[in-house]
Amino acid sequence: MGWTVELSSGAEQQLRKLDPGIARRLGTYLRMLVAETSDPRERGKALTGPMKGLWRYRVGDYRLV
């Protein structure tokens, strides 16, 4: 199964507001997560409740859903 990363328009706006170094670090993490793992869920934490089916990833002080 191939994996893709999709950013909502709100996420793209928030990413543009971040310091360029932090934004680059988050982008690099997402590319590595998809490119270097057979199942990206191995590195994340499953969410529950209304966000069930989504996964959270920690990158330093930031959380990616």
Q: What is the pLDDT of residues 25-64, one digit of tens each?
A: 999 998 888 777 888 888 899 999 999 999 999 999 999 9
Residue boundaries of the structural domains of the chain: 9-64
Asked whether residue 17 carries a pLDDT value surpassing 80, the answer given is yes
Query: What pLDDT, on a 0 to 100 scale, did the predictor assign at position 61?
Result: 93
Q: In the CATH hierarchy, which top-level class contains the domain 9-64?
A: alpha beta
User: Residue 5 above 90 pLDDT?
Assistant: no
The 8-class DSSP code of residue 64 comes to E
Reading the block at residue 45, the tokens are 């934490």
State residue 16's pLDDT score.
93
- β-pairing, 62-64 vs 45-46, is unpaired
Q: Give the residues across from 45 on adjacent strands.
A: 56
Length of the chain counted residue by residue: 65
pLDDT at 1: 56
